[in-house]
């Protein structure tokens, strides 16, 4: 099992980064393969809304500028992974800027597959579980709206179409200034449970809700 950690924090220290490290250490202890993508180090360009607002992302499901900014290579890393941990600081009740750019580009490439008439073109996020971690300062204001933004994208690109007891959005870990120590233990437990479910009998496939017709 390979778990991809997608980090939206621009920092290499602090509370949010410590949850990235906790994830890495926990996955390694379980003997699973782990890779961390630090979005702040990639300089992804925001969507340029090619042509009439959609470019080859709609038809061919990759970005016209993705070879230049590294998105297309990153999308291949997403494809190769079996599960995901998204970790973001909360800014003004939203995801970090780097994570928002990544989410928008991936959504355009993968969510658009639901209208593709080619049977082989199915979002490669379907059936793969995700743990969402949002870290806010103070009492945690804005965490819910940040979760809503990320959850909406995951649903749209097909990552929440399978039974939730096996995959989909596996857990939400809401972190603030005062609860970070026990939420760190919660994250460790969530990762262990997600791995255990992955190793158990696969869930029955449920087709996407939107018809190709």
pTM of the full structure? 0.89
Condensed to tens digits (0 to 9), the pLDDT of residues 99-121 reads 999 999 999 999 888 888 888 89
pLDDT confidence of residue 135? 97
Q: Which DSSP string corresponds to the chain?
A: -EEEEEE--S-SSHHHHHHHHHHHHHHHHTT-EEEEEEGGGT-PPPP---BTTB-HHHHTSS-TTHHHHSHHHHHHHHHH-SEEEEEEE-BTTB--HHHHHHHHHHHHHHGGGGG---TT---TTTT--EEEEEE-STT-TTHHHHHHHHHHHHHHTTTT-S-TTTSSEEEEEEE-TTTHHHHHHHHHHHHHHHHHHHHSPPPPP---SS---
Q: What is the mean pLDDT of residues 187-209?
A: 74
Q: What is the pLDDT of residue 138?
A: 77
């Amino acid at each position: 099992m390979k778990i991809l950690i997608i980090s939206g924090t621009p920092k290499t220290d602090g509370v949010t980064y410590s949850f990235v490290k906790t994830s890495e250490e926990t996955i390694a202890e379980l003997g699973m393969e782990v890779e961390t993508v630090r979005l702040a180090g990639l300089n992804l360009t925001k969507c340029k809304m090619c042509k009439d607002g959609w470019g080859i992302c709609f038809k061919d499901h990759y970005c016209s500028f993705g070879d230049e900014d590294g998105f297309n290579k990153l999308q291949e890393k997403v494809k190769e992974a079996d599960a995901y941990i998204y970790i973001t600081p909360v800014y003004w009740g939203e995801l970090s800027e780097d994570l928002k750019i990544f989410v928008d580009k991936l959504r355009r490439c993968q969510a658009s597959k639901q209208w593709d008439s080619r049977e082989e073109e199915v979002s490669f996020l379907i059936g793969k579980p995700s743990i969402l971690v949002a870290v806010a300062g103070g009492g945690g204001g804005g965490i819910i709206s940040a979760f809503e933004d990320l959850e909406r994208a995951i649903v749209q690109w097909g990552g929440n179409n399978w039974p939730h007891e096996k995959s989909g959005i596996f857990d939400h870990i809401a972190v603030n200034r005062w609860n970070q120590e026990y939420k760190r233990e919660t994250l460790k437990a969530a990762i262990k449970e997600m791995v255990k479910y992955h190793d158990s009998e696969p869930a029955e496939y449920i087709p996407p809700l939107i018809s190709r017709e």
